[in-house]
């Protein structure tokens, strides 16, 4: 089963949330409507700023676990490698 590791942020340079899902198109609207994690609701961490797809969900889970141990600066650098302005990457209906 395919898996995704993703990072959402409140704004450029703001609070970062790291998550994993098997369906990014389903998960992002959940975050944006407050049905995602309580952390994303509490801190407004709803902007998808980075994601990576894996062929196997277990690989995605392993990478998520690793990323959560990284220092903040490494996470920022990973985001800014592909999305220096921290633009919203999710292009779902109405977002």
Continuous H helices in 7-94: 24-32, 38-43, 57-69, 72-82
Structure tokens that stand for 39 in this block:
């952390």
Q: What is the pTM of this model?
A: 0.92
- Within a domain: residue 89? no
Q: Give 94's pLDDT tier (boundaries 50, 70, 90).
A: low
Q: What are the backbone dihedrals phi and psi of residue 17, each rounded to the nearest 5 degrees, phi first?
A: -120, 135
The residue segments making up the domain with residue 22 are 3-82
Average pLDDT over every residue of 17-23: 97
pLDDT on residue 21: 97
CA distance 20 to 18: 7
Dihedral sign computed on CA atoms, order 38, 92, 69, 75: negative
- CB-hemisphere CA count at 13 Å for 6? 24
Instruction: Residue 52: give its domain's CATH number.
Output: 3.40.1440.10
What is the tally of structural domains in the chain?
1
Q: Give 28's pLDDT tier (boundaries 50, 70, 90).
A: very high
pLDDT digits (tens, 9 = 90+) for 32-59: 888 878 888 888 899 999 999 999 999 9
Question: Per-residue pLDDT for 89 more than 60?
Answer: yes
- Within a domain: residue 90? no
- Within a domain: residue 65? yes
């Amino acid at each position: 089963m395919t898996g995704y590791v993703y990072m959402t942020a409140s704004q450029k340079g703001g609070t970062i949330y790291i998550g994993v899902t098997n369906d990014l198109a389903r998960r992002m609207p959940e975050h944006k409507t407050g049905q995602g994690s309580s952390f994303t609701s509490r801190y407004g961490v709803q902007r998808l700023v980075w994601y990576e797809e894996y062929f196997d969900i277990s690989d995605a889970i392993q990478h998520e676990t690793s990323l959560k141990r990284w220092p903040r600066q490494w996470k920022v650098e990973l985001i800014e490698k592909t999305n220096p302005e921290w633009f919203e990457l999710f292009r779902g209906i109405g977002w």
